[in-house]
Amino acid sequence: MKVDNKRPAFQMKHLSSLTSDDWIELALSNPIEILIDHAHCERKAAGVAIQLMFRYPTETNLAEVLSPIAREELEHFEKILYFLKDLGHSLKALGPPPYGSELAKNVRKEEPYRMLDSFLIAGLIEARSHERLSILALNSDNKSFRVLYESLLESEARHFGIYLKLAKNKFSKDETCKRLEELAKIESEILSETYFLPRVHS
Amino acid sequence: MKVDNKRPAFQMKHLSSLTSDDWIELALSNPIEILIDHAHCERKAAGVAIQLMFRYPTETNLAEVLSPIAREELEHFEKILYFLKDLGHSLKALGPPPYGSELAKNVRKEEPYRMLDSFLIAGLIEARSHERLSILALNSDNKSFRVLYESLLESEARHFGIYLKLAKNKFSKDETCKRLEELAKIESEILSETYFLPRVHS
């Protein structure tokens, strides 16, 4: 195993654990599959933002914030589609890792907690994407992949910040931070379970 | 009742009936409610495009075509949000007319017919939006409303064309046109049922 994988200097402080070297090796050895999976992640992230707009259609300012997020996720989705196409690849169905569905089990059913948990989990997924895309941007063998990931990762960190701000606008700072810490631990535990397929969130 | 409402010179030829003068009067008398409802329509149309991308993730070129549609619907959604905000209004929940759910009942459950019907119904909704937005662009009392609707309506016609093309790429011209005619008749019948609330598709 290579042990000299670079780590980003800027680390999302709210994640409860760092990505393992095992994941880095698996991801770097399967660049196309990881990229196709990331295209699906962008598409799903757009779906999540729109789903939240649907669920809370009259929540002040929510649509103004989430609609541009959804558009940006779709732009990135399209960017990856054309990048793959240039390489002779296309989108294909990939079995998702348990990450998303396991995280979703931790969304409390009653409001307003459902809203808080939904914002924070959406944010944590963005934060983890930011960490992993940063690793891929630093360590991918191929320069065009490094440049692509570099171009995608800034928005992941920004979206995390937006979801955290949405939570803090609606809930107290204490309640938000306490729940974020709980969910971040759960997120790390889910990732610590062995999952052998190369996925952005395996 | 006013009888001098202007009609657009360019009429979507695939619609089975013209909008009634009653609808025009109701819509012109309730400009804010119609506009809020149209914001919801743009949001829903983005949701439909993304939903189709989710349902057929590996269908060749589908995502490349639908993702930009979804982004454009979201841009228009945001444009209306800010237009409303400038007027001191904001998004509010509005009970939808039966139009969407009644149309959805006509989507056949088995593939590939489900795909054909989904494309054609999405297209017919865009075509009807184009007709009605054209009427609002011609007849609204307030110039800023006329300009807004004028800026929104071109994409409705273009999206109809895209959905029709998606259908024709996958199905024969005969099958597509026959089913489109059937669904267009159903669409007109649904609109001919009296519904008293001012909605884009009431």
Q: How far apart are CA B101 and CA B125, in angstroms?
A: 12
Q: What's at A78, amino acid-wise? A: E
By 3-state DSSP, what share of chain B in percent is helix, strand and coil, each rounded to 5? 70, 0, 30
Peptide bond between residue A57 and the one before it cis (omega within 30 degrees of 0): no
For residue B40, the chain A residues in CB contact (below 8 A) are 57
Q: How far apart are CA A150 and CA A79, in angstroms?
A: 13
Please check whether residue A180 is in contact with residue A79, taking contact to mean a CB–CB distance below 8 angstroms.
no
Inter-chain Cβ pairs, chain A and chain B, closer than 8 A: 75
Q: What is the mean pLDDT of chain A?
A: 93
Tell me if chain A has a CB within 8 Å of the CB of B84: no
In this prediction, residue B11 carries a pLDDT of 66
Nearest to B57 among A46, A58, A93 (CB): A93
Does residue A187 lie in a domain region? yes
Tell me if chain B has a CB within 8 Å of the CB of A55: no
For residue A63, the chain B residues in CB contact (below 8 A) are 43, 77-78, 81, 91
Does residue B72 lie in a domain region? yes
**Structural domain span for residue A155:** 25-90+107-193
Helices (H) and strands (E) in chain B, counts: 7, 0
What are the CA-CA distances from residue A4 to residues A7, A20, A68, A138, A146 (Å)? 9, 13, 38, 11, 17
State the nearest Cα–Cα gap between B40 and chain A, in angstroms: 9
When computed from its CA atoms, the radius of gyration of chain B, rounded to whole angstroms, is 17
Q: How far apart are CA A47 and CA A133, in angstroms?
A: 20
User: Any idea which residue has 């062995």 for tokens?
Assistant: A194
- For the CA atoms of A114, A115, A118, A120, what is the dihedral angle to 10 degrees? -120
Q: For residue A57, what pLDDT band results from cuts at 50, 70 and 90?
A: confident
In this prediction, residue B24 carries a pLDDT of 95
Closest of B170, B129, B139, B115 to residue B1, by C-alpha:
B139
Contact (CB<8Å) B63/A57? no
What are the CA-CA distances from residue A143 to residues A22, A31, A45, A137, B93 (Å)? 22, 12, 26, 9, 48
Q: For residue B132, what pLDDT band results from cuts at 50, 70 and 90?
A: very high
Q: What's at B27, amino acid-wise? A: A
How many other CB atoms sit within 10 Å of the CB of residue A25? Answer: 16
- Write down how long chain A is: 202
Does residue B198 lie in a domain region? no
Evaluate the CA torsion angle B186, B50, A61, A59 in order and state its sign.
positive
Contact (CB<8Å) A90/B58? yes
Residue B148 has pLDDT above 90, yes or no: yes
Does residue A3 lie in a domain region? no
Does residue A9 lie in a domain region? no
The CATH number of the domain where B113 resides is what? 1.20.1260.10
Residue A166 has pLDDT above 90, yes or no: yes
DSSP code for A18: P
What's the number of domains chain A is made of?
1
Of B10-19, B82-91, B159-168, where does mean pLDDT reach its minimum? Answer: B10-19
In this prediction, residue B195 carries a pLDDT of 78
Helix orientation angle between B113-139 and B21-29, rounded to the nearest 10 degrees = 70
Does residue A44 lie in a domain region? yes
Does residue A6 lie in a domain region? no
Does residue B37 lie in a domain region? yes
Of A76-85, B57-66, B103-112, where does mean pLDDT reach its minimum? Answer: B57-66
Q: For residue B13, what pLDDT band results from cuts at 50, 70 and 90?
A: confident
Q: Is B81 exposed, middle or buried (0-12, 13-18, 19+ CB in 10 A)?
A: buried
In this prediction, residue B10 carries a pLDDT of 66
Please check whether residue B15 is in contact with residue B124, taking contact to mean a CB–CB distance below 8 angstroms.
yes
User: Any idea which residue has 């009942």 for tokens?
Assistant: B105
**CB-side exposure of B27: number of CA atoms within 13 Å?**
28
- Write out pLDDT tens, residues A4-46: 788 877 666 799 999 999 999 999 999 999 999 999 999 999 9
Q: How far apart are CA B175 and CA A124, in angstroms?
A: 47
In this prediction, residue B110 carries a pLDDT of 97
Residues 164-183 of chain A whose Cβ lies under 8 A from any Cβ of chain B: none
Q: What is the ipTM of this complex?
A: 0.90
Q: For residue A194, what pLDDT band results from cuts at 50, 70 and 90?
A: confident
Interval A151-180 mean pLDDT: 96
Model confidence, pTM: 0.93
Interval A76-102 mean pLDDT: 94
Nearest to A50 among B50, B67, B90 (CB): B50
What are the φ/ψ torsions at residue A86 (nearest 5 degrees)?
-60, -30
Q: Is A193 exposed, middle or buried (0-12, 13-18, 19+ CB in 10 A)?
A: exposed
